[in-house]
Copies of this chain bind each other. A is one copy, B any other.
Amino acid sequence: MKMNLVYKALADATRRDILNLLKNKDLTAGEIADHFRISKPSISHHLNLLKQADLVHAEKRGQYIYYSINTTVLQDVLTWLLSLQGKKGEKE
């Protein structure tokens, strides 16, 4: 798993907003796009980056593609962030 792709994916506000949307329920690409002012191809591109980072899963159902969030890759980010917090002056 290329963690760099995960951090890169999280660096964009639009992509973070997409994840926030998917937190509540799975959505089609079109439903996701409706929440933003940017074009559908741009959203499609963002979805592709999220997919490459394995932060979302895409499943085609008929003519729709449903996107769902995948939080398992976030575990490594979480672990790293926590490791930064337990820092130096850690005497008793």
Give A contacts to B, CB under 8 Å.
4, 7-8, 10-13, 16, 19-20, 22-26, 69, 71, 74, 77-78, 80-85, 87-88
A16–chain B nearest beta-carbon distance, Å? 7
Give the copy number: 2
Residue of B nearest to A80 (CB): B16
Q: Which of A12, A23, A77, A83 has the most CB of B within 10 A?
A: A23
Give the complex CA separation of A87 and B24 in angstroms: 6
By the criterion CB–CB under 8 Å, are B78 and A84 in contact?
Answer: no
A14–chain B nearest beta-carbon distance, Å? 11
By the criterion CB–CB under 8 Å, are A82 and B78 in contact?
Answer: yes
By the criterion CB–CB under 8 Å, are B88 and A23 in contact?
Answer: yes
